[in-house]
Chains A and B, each alone.
Chain A
């Protein structure tokens, strides 16, 4: 009898224990898990971790699981994961790829009940969100937004007898300054460059845009780079290396050269503010809007951006809440401060604290004048343009021939992209 009672109480205790575990698991299952992937920089990873911690405090029913992947490996991890159905709930992709991902059925529209989504057009500048909308629905919030500005070293300006409070405002002035700022030793080896573009695609494209080059055949819906304005702009960029010799590729990385004060002026994205601060804390530098081709001319630059999107299998409400949080006004202020990523919210672009910040003010102004590329092929944003530039400076091709090549390759790339994005 006693043995039976003992056995019975053990069974009851075991049952209670199992039920409490099940109850615990059941309770834990009520938390919605949002897996978030993005490509990695140390500053960005740290910031998103801090955002996640705060978000989870404010939303205890949502758990954010972060994965920060080196950019070189990002797509080789993301694409197979999406194909296998094991992709993340939220992730970042280039804004121009949104249509491809929508047509492929791997991302979903954001939750329209979320106020940030409903007010997106009111709160964000048009160029930043123009590519996020497909068939009347928004599929992402903009992130990693970059224009092009001119970074310069005021100390080197003073040494060359140039007033650092008056950065160049036209292309002619830019080259004149650059010549004064270029130094060579007795054997003719460059010891200090006046100016560099590095052949970086967004810079070259910005120069073409400023010069009024069309770059797009609206009728055919395909790239078209050959125009007198485009040729002039490419000639201007390449002549820094070949003619005026204010840029010397033998000096290696333009970023290292700028950090070591062996480069006086460099075209770069605003995110380099954060990079220079982190890697060369003693470096004195300033920013300015890019010079126009001529006085009173255009200072537009290319806006490149990525988007935080919501995966097809994600819980829409929670995932949208998270990406909206990452691009909220508070978050964007943090992004500007710590990484130099530009804000895309209208309310932030005219904030007095940025207007009076000497480094950020030119960046905010550049954002207001930024233009979005009409194409969607990623290769046209950088790699193909860089190669066209190299055809001129390394192979001696004429700018016209290089732009003909760029047009032909650009058409191939854009057609491939259209094929990927077909319904």
Chain B
């Protein structure tokens, strides 16, 4: 039987709505994403294969010379070492503390809303302001920290001026600044665990530690994996906090990778090398993320 004109149009409209229109809706967002993320990424890759002077229109192709130069540069390895120290210092401690605080603030205690607010305040404080405040806290002579420690007979330290402890000082600030955000994520996840699981376990004689080990932790695994991965990525990319607190000093003790990349690009005009370093950093982050996913992700259940 021939299909009527009306039905043909209606089928066409249906196909358009199902097959074509969705692409139209996602097109602006996709185009924007391509323009600000994917295209610049490929441009960066192209730059990394050249001796790139941003002020000139013609550049010299040098192949992988920039990558060789990066991988044989001791300053790059020093910056990478500093970045790894920062990551190892910040990520597990921050996540551990965030989980503990979230567990405490998930309980029915008086004033828990105030506490949640206080823990979240550093997250909404602009980084530059927080860094300036911490510079004063860390001041060798007039700082709060040395004043507090002196009451216990501890000699004053030059927290940001001593290369041996400067990175430790930066790590403390980073943990303080990011704790609230992770706490909120854990809090939301904790509140998503059905109460009935705990009740059932308690009926079976489980104590608080058992509840934590066998119910809370496993059910938090997806959240923990997410927090771990995002913290890892952001700690490898640290820049703003270090820039304001120490500028990478003293004696490059806090010179992290992104800081080194920034300097090579905007102070030394070596955009090709800076791009190459960016891709090396990307590769490092990717490897760490994949390893993490493999180790932690296999037992993740979203049920």
Chain A interfacial positions (CB closer than 8 Å to B): 72, 75-76, 79-80, 82-83, 100-101, 104-106, 189, 249-252, 378-379, 383, 387, 390-391, 394-395, 413, 416, 419-420
Contacts and interface: CB of A to CB of B under 8 A. Distances in A.
Contacts, number: 65
B107 interface: no
B251 interface: yes
Given A104-B55, A416-B268, A420-B53, A395 B161 contact: no
16 contacts: A72-B243, A75-B267, A79-B55, A104-B55, A105-B56, A106-B55, A189-B156, A250-B140, A250-B141, A383-B267, A394-B163, A394-B250, A394-B251, A395-B163, A420-B53, A420-B269
A419 B55 CA distance: 13
A-B CB proximity, top 8 nearest: A104-B55, A250-B140, A75-B266, A390-B251, A83-B54, A250-B158, A76-B266, A104-B56
Contact of A251 (B141, B249, B262): B141
Nearest to B248: A383
Contacts of B158: 249-250
Given A379-B267, A390-B251, A249 B243 contact: no
Nearest to A422: B53
B46 to A, nearest CB: 14
Tell me which of B140, B163, B252 has the highest count of chain A C-beta atoms within 10 A of its own C-beta: B140
B267 A387 contact: no
Contacts of B82: none
Secondary structure type dominating chain A contacts: helix
Nearest to A378: B267
Given A72-B243, A251-B140, A252-B140, A80 B54 contact: yes
A100 B243 contact: no
A394 B158 CA distance: 12
Interface string B250-273: 111000000000100011111000
Given A189-B156, A249-B158, A416-B268, A390 B55 contact: no
Q: How large is the interface on B (under 10, 10 to 19, 20 to 34, 35 or more residues)?
A: 20 to 34
Contact of B252 (A83, A101, A378, A387): A387
Contacts of B140: 249-252
A146 B163 CA distance: 30
Contacts of A80: 54
A79 B142 CA distance: 40
A115 B262 CA distance: 41
B251 A419 contact: no
B50 interface: no
Contacts of A390: 249-251
Contact of B161 (A79, A82, A249): A249
Nearest to A84: B54
A268 to B, nearest CB: 19
B139 interface: yes
Nearest to B158: A250
Contacts of A72: 243
B81 interface: no
A3 B250 CA distance: 84
A390 B249 CA distance: 10
B51 interface: yes
Contacts of B161: 249-250, 252
